[in-house]
Amino acid sequence: MQIYSRRFRDAKPINFGPASPRKLAVHGVDVSRWQGDVDWVNLRSQGANFAYIKATDGGDHMDPMFRTNWRKTREAGLKRGAYHFFYWCRTAGEQADWFIRNVPREPGALPPAIDVEWNGESSCKRRPSRKVVLEKMQVFMDKLEKHYGQRPIIYTAPDFYRDNLKEAFPDYHFWLRAVAEHPSKVYPGRRWLFWQYSGSGLSHGVDGRIDLNVFHGSEDEWHNWVTARSN
């Protein structure tokens, strides 16, 4: 698969110094309904080599653009995966069942991702203990791994990580939000696979702003990782 070099702009550029994400080879995006109707062919040519697409939240909500984005990313040749926004007011089992009902089990798809944050902007204000958080995550991830045959990736943000995820899940890949400093400073000691380095990306192919991400490795390492997921 051809790798397109990064041509994104950023409305709020950050100088990450010698650890700039620009030095990594394989960039991508994540999207939800808020990006509207994306021109994926154009966006790919700007450097979106992969996409994580919001599929579901909670136990009964589906992103209205998921099916369109899922189809169009495949047509445009992007590697893509789906993610679920986890609600702390619903059981883990019903959330896993809802995701499985709506996201195809498709050869070549990237591993599913679980987005774990505090639900501050929703009606669910619950903040369970760290023990309960880890138990609920494990139930959800086990069900997805059994169904899709791939271990889910964990996406998180600094405050939630600090409260719950330090030293947890050492055998899982992490996708970390760090838009002001390098992940090594925000999440010391944590190995990561994807880095969400901007929430203010600008690009041909999408109106408004888009989240920018990068894979932690070389182009060859990306191809090897993707190939291993496809077998």
Q: Known catalytic residues?
A: 117
Q: For the chain, first and last CA: distance in Å?
A: 16
Distance from C-alpha of 167 to C-alpha of 180, rounded to nearest angstrom: 22
- Residue 2 φ then ψ, to 5°: -65, 135
Question: What DSSP state is assigned to residue 35?
Answer: G
Q: Token digits for 225?
A: 């990782």
Distance from C-alpha of 231 to C-alpha of 225, rounded to nearest angstrom: 11
Render the burial of 122-151: b for 16+ CB within 10 Å, e for the rest: eebeeeeeeeebeebbeebbebbbeebebb
